Amino acid sequence: MLEKFGRNLPCWCGSGRKYKACHMAFDERIAQARAAGHIVPGHKLIKNDAQIAKIRESCVVNMAALDAVAAAIRPGMTTKEIDDIVYGTTTAMGGIPAPLNYHGFPYSVCTSVNEQVCHGFPSDQVVLKEGDIINVDCSTILDGYFSDSSRMFCIGEVSPEKKRLVEVTKECVELGLEQVKPWGFLGDVGQAVHDHARANGYSVVPDIGGHGVGLEFHEDPFVSYVTRRGEEMLLAPGMIFTIEPMVNMGGAAHVTNRANGWEISTRDGLPSAQWEIMVLVTEEGHEVLCW
């Protein structure tokens, strides 16, 4: 890697700076970590300042769509109305809903209610009622740049058990975020999330997790929440990924709707919760780009 770039040539990151003053020391540290047996990010996972600026703009649209849902959501509302709000807000701001027609997904947003783990289909037949919990998962393309985040909503008065699940799941995300720092590991994030969920009597879905994002909808790395500290990919400045654990009140087992091949629900029928944020690894620590 080091031989490929001359010290005085423009850096591979596109900054316009000389390699020796930009990413040469970075590449040396990556090479050392690789030699020590760690999984390391390739150059394509490292965003430059110009790309990060455009990704931030996409995040603004994504959060605006979720804000619009937050202002309108209520008992008696259909999940199709949520889809309409997301589509209308996103397109009015010049964006494109990233889920729409993605591998055949027919809607602009995922609306996962109660026992649904993820990928819930909006529908005019699904009416939110008092006591429901719902995850609204929104993703946006703006000028070719991607953003992705989700929020949980409690509909009216919910049971103490559901409220606690929602709160603990958010705490899991916050504890995972605390572990995001340059030259740490994705496993640090995963263990923090998993330990807190288990300590509260919950399970974490092991085979659905976070992902890199920004230049594509789903990039490497896969972000697991059943990993151990010091394992998985090395975290390096310029990486962007989501933290989005799916935490179940009961067991971790889940089933996929055979009719549509998308909607995933808990096998035992107990509620599931998920919050999703999008985070940038910085030289000093991290920056939350989207929530």
Give the pLDDT confidence of 91-128 residue by residue, as tens digits: 999 999 999 999 999 999 999 999 999 999 999 999 99
Exposure of 285 by Cβ count < 10 A (0-12 exposed, 13-18 middle, 19+ buried)?
middle
What pLDDT does residue 6 have?
Answer: 86
Say how far apart CA 291 and CA 275 lie, in whole Å.
8
Using CA of residue 45, residue 277, residue 272, residue 152, what is the dihedral sign?
A: negative
By C-alpha distance, which of 8, 32, 31, 34 is closest to 20? 8
Which two three-digit tokens encode residue 6?
A: 């001359």
Domain ranges of the chain: 41-290
The CATH code of domain 41-290 reads 3.90.230.10
Q: Which long-range contacts (CB under 8 A, 24 or more apart) does 83-88 make?
A: 83/107, 83/108, 83/109, 83/111, 83/122, 86/136, 86/138
Q: What is the pLDDT of residue 91?
A: 98
Name the residue among 143, 197, 201 with its Cα closest to residue 170: 197
* Residue 97: cis peptide before it, omega within 30 degrees of 0: no
Query: How confident is the model over 159-172, as pLDDT tens digits?
Result: 999 999 999 999 99
pLDDT at 1 over 60: no
pLDDT in tens, 196-206: 999 999 999 99
| CA–CA gap between residue 287 and residue 291 (Å, rounded) | 11
**253-288: per-residue pLDDT in tens?**
999 999 999 999 999 999 999 999 999 999 999 999
Q: How many C-beta atoms lie closer than 10 Å to residue 78's C-beta?
A: 16
The mean pLDDT of 35-55, rounded to a whole number, is 97
Q: What is the mean pLDDT of residues 209-225?
A: 98
Asked if residue 235 has pLDDT above 70, the reply is: yes
Confidence of residue 2 (pLDDT cuts 50, 70, 90): very low
For residue 4, pLDDT over 90 is answered with no
* Interval 56-90: pLDDT, tens: 999 999 999 999 999 999 999 999 999 999 999 99
Average pLDDT of the residues in 123-136: 98
